Chains A and B, each alone.
Chain A
Amino acid sequence: MKTVFEYTRGMRPVTTTYCPGCTHGIAHRLVMEVLVEKGLLGDTIGVSPIGCSILSHDYMNVDMCESAHGRAPAVASGIRRALPNKTVFTYQGDGDLASIGAGEIIHAAHRGELFTTIFINNAIYGMTGGQMAPTTLIGQKSTTGVDGRKKEISGMPLRISELLATIDGAVFVERVALNTPANVRKAKKAIEKAFTVQQMGLGFGLVEVLSTCPTNWGLSPVDSMTWLEENMIPYYPLGNFRCPEEVK
C-alpha cells in the first residue's frame, strides 16, 4: 500500500495545548515539513518568543530557545552570527513582532540577517487573553477595546509585510493565509522559498501568516475562517511583496 500522507517527523508526537480551531498547528506543521523536505531539520535552531507559540519548542523537533517578548530577531541574529552554517528561524505572533518587537524585526531586516521569520498574524494578543494588537482591525473587539478598535484612539492597523518590503535587506516578504486548503498549500510554498533565500545567503525573509484565534475572537473555528476571509484579507491583501530572482 502506498503512503499518501504521514505525520511529519518534524513534529514531536505530542498533543499541543493550542485551543480548538487555532491555526498554530497548521503553521507549525508547514514549517517543519519544509525543514524535513529540505533536509535541514538537524541543522536548524528555532527561536520562540513570548506568546502562545512560546511552547512551540514542545512540538517542533528542532533545537530551540525561548526569547523575551519581541526580542527573537535579536536572539536569532546572535545565533546566526555564531553559527554561519546553520539554519535559523523565529516564530512570532503579532503582539510580539508588530508591537514590543517592532524595533528588533525592522533592524534584523535592515541588516539583512540570514534567518527566516514566520509571522503569525491573528490580529489579537492570544496568550494574555485577547487584548488589542497593532494589527487588530478597526471595529474589532478586544479586552482592551471592548467597543472595537477606533482609529482616533489607536490608529489604523499596522501592515507589517508592506512595511518590511520597503527595507532592502528584507529580500523575501510574502503574506499568506491558512483559511482554505488552497491557501495552506500556497503558504507552504512561501515558507519553502523563504528558507531557500536563507540557504542561498540572499538576505532576510519573512512570511506573514494570517491566522485565526477562535477563543479570543469569540467565534467558532468555522466562523473564524469566514471572519478571516471577510475581514482580514481585504485589509491585509495576500501575495508576494518581495522575492529575489533566484527563487522566483
Chain B
Amino acid sequence: MEEKKLMKGNEAFAEAAIRGGCHLYFGYPITPQNEIPEYMSRELSKHGGSFVQAESELAAVNMAYGGALTGHNVFLSSSSPGIALMQEGISFMCSAEIPVVMLNISRGGPGVGGIQPGQADYRQATKGGGNGDYHVPVFAPASVQESVDLIYDAIPIAERYRNPVMILADGMLGQMMEPVTLPEHRAVRSEAELLAEKPWALNGHGDKRERMVIQSLHLKPEELEAHNMHLEEKYQSMRKELPKYQIKNCKDAEIVFVAFGTMSRIVNEAIDQLKTEGITAGLIRPITLWPFPEAAFDEIDPSTKVVISTELAIGQMMEDVKSAVAGRFPVELIYRTGGMVPTPMEVARRAKQILEAIR
C-alpha cells in the first residue's frame, strides 16, 4: 500500500529500494549516506532480505555482483570516493550483464574532498570511471520524492537491460527531510519465478541442464568485439528509450539554465528572482544524465541569448550541454564547488552579468 510520511532522504531511499523488491544490500560506512546502511541493517531482514556490512566498497560491489548473478535484486549505495572504489565492479557487471541499482549520495571532491554536497561525480557517473566500452544509465532526482520514485523504477530498468543503473543524488537530498509518498511493495517472486524470468541466473544446474557460466573474460579479440557490439546495441536502445527531462519556460526565455538535482531547485528560485528584474529565464532539467536528453535542447527558442550550465562542479555537465547545443547558442557556466552551494540570489546575479555581457 502507498504510504505518506515525512522522512529523511537517505532513509526514504533505502525504504524505496526495499519496496521496489531489493533482496540484498551490501554497504560500507561513508558520509553523507550512512543512514542507508543503518536503515538496511534494521529493516531489510524484516522483508526476508539480507544486509552485509562489507569490508570496503570494493568488496561491496563484488558482493553485489555475486548476489545479483543469482537473479536476486541487489541495491548498493555509497558516496563519491566509495563509488570511485566501485568502478572495477561496475565495469565488470556491465561486461557480465548483471543488473544492480546503485545510489551515489555525492559530495565534494577530488580525492577524499569533503562531506558537503557536490555534483563533481558527473563525469565519473556518465562517462564511466571503469575500463572499457560500457555505459550506465544515470538518473538525477531533484527531491526526496523523485529519488524514491526513480529508485523504485530503476529496479525493473536494470533487469530489463541486464545492466547496472545509477541514481546520482547529492548529499543535500540525502540529508534533507521532505514529505514523501512511498510506493507499495512489489510482489515477492519465488525462486522458481525469478529463474523463469532470468534464465541466465546461476542456481546450480540441478543435473537437469548444461552448466552455465557468467563471464567477463573473452581472450579472443573477435569474440570480445562481438560481445562489445552486443552491449552497444543495448546502449543504443537505452539512448532511444531512457532520456528523461523536465523543461520550464523555454519558449520565450532570454536565458536557459541547465541544471540537475539540488542545483535545479536553486535555479528555479533564481528564475523567479530574475523575473522580478524583467529578465525571462527558463530551465532544462536533465533527469537522465546518461543518456543525456539532447532532444530537450531542440525546444529552446531561437531568440534565446545564452544557455547556462549551472553546476556544483566546474563545467563537467557543460561538456554535454555544449554538445547538445551544437553551436546554436553561446554556452556559459555558473558553478560552486567543493561542497559550497550558491544562493538563488547569487545565481541570478551572475546570470544577469553573463546576459549583460552578451547583449
A residues whose Cβ falls under 8 Å from a Cβ of B: 12, 41-45, 47, 50, 54, 57, 60-68, 71, 74-83, 86-87, 103-104, 106-107, 110-111
**B202-220 contacts to A (CB < 8 Å):** 202-208, 211-217
- By the criterion CB–CB under 8 Å, are A65 and B202 in contact? yes
Tally of contact residues, B, Cβ under 8 A? 40
Complex CA gap A44/B207 in Å reads: 11
Show 12 residue pairs from A and B whose CB-CB distance is below 8 angstroms, ordered by the A residue.
Answer: A42-B205, A63-B204, A63-B213, A65-B69, A68-B88, A74-B59, A75-B66, A78-B63, A78-B64, A81-B52, A81-B67, A82-B24
A-chain residues with CB within 8 Å of residue B217 when the two chains form the complex: 50, 54, 66
B10 CB to closest chain A CB, in angstroms? 23
B residues whose Cβ falls under 8 Å from a Cβ of A: 23-24, 26, 50, 52, 54-56, 58-60, 62-70, 72, 74, 88-89, 92, 96, 202-208, 211-217
- By the criterion CB–CB under 8 Å, are A61 and B211 in contact? yes
* Known contacts A78-B67, A82-B67; A104 and B206 CB within 8 A of each other: no
- By the criterion CB–CB under 8 Å, are B204 and A86 in contact? yes
Complex CA gap A156/B207 in Å reads: 46
* Known contacts A57-B215, A103-B55; A43 and B204 CB within 8 A of each other: yes
A45, A82, A87: which contacts B72 (Cβ < 8 A)? A82
A-chain residues with CB within 8 Å of residue B55 when the two chains form the complex: 103-104, 106-107, 110
Complex CA gap A15/B52 in Å reads: 39
B62, B67, B203: which contacts A86 (Cβ < 8 A)? B203
Complex CA gap A68/B215 in Å reads: 10
- By the criterion CB–CB under 8 Å, are A82 and B70 in contact? yes
- By the criterion CB–CB under 8 Å, are B70 and A83 in contact? yes
- By the criterion CB–CB under 8 Å, are B59 and A83 in contact? no
B30 CB to closest chain A CB, in angstroms? 17
Complex CA gap A176/B284 in Å reads: 65
B-chain residues with CB within 8 Å of residue A82 when the two chains form the complex: 23-24, 50, 66-67, 70, 72
A163 CB to closest chain B CB, in angstroms? 16
